[in-house]
Amino acid sequence: MTLAVVSAAVAGVEQIMALVGRPDADTLAQLLVAPLAALLLQRAVSRTREYAADTGSAHLNGDALALADALVVMARVWPPTPSGHRGERVRQLFRTHPPLTARIARLRASHLAGPPRRGMPVGPAL
């Protein structure tokens, strides 16, 4: 997936260069960095929304542990990618969903903390 993003960015830069001529080094760097930064921000927002959806679902259901148990079942069906591999931190930046293990841990911790309060943060800081 990352290769597709990079190749799309390069293709976009080539199209712009064909239209406006040869840009200087700063413009070229901005053309490459801006789409990547936008993608990383979109993915971070998506992960934050997933945490918020978990919190909201647990609040509506009234049982955070039931949702955590359901995620455990999902983790058995879709085992997580083993961590510790080279480049794993970078791959995590491009994921749209947080790891199931992190979601399970957060739900179990919220169960111990009690019901969510109004205005309580639901996801990690960006």
Q: What span, in angstroms and rounded, lies between the C-alpha atoms of 70 and 64?
A: 10
Mean pLDDT of 26-46: 83
Dihedral in degrees, nearest 10, Cα atoms 115, 119, 123, 125: -140
Question: pLDDT value at position 52?
Answer: 93
With bands split at pLDDT 50, 70 and 90, how would you rate the model's confidence at 126? Answer: very low
What distance in Å separates the CA atoms of residue 53 and residue 56, rounded to the nearest whole number? 5
Query: Residue ranges per domain, the chain?
Result: 2-113
User: Tell me, what's the pLDDT at 36?
Assistant: 85
Q: What is the pLDDT of residues 72-125, one digit of tens each?
A: 999 888 876 666 677 778 888 888 889 899 999 999 998 776 655 554 455 554
* pLDDT (average), residues 49-61: 91
Residue with tokens 């903390």: 113
Q: What is the mean pLDDT of the chain?
A: 78
**16-48 core/surface letters (b: 16 or more CB in 10 A; e: else):** eeeeeeeeeeeeeeebeeebeeebeeebbeebb
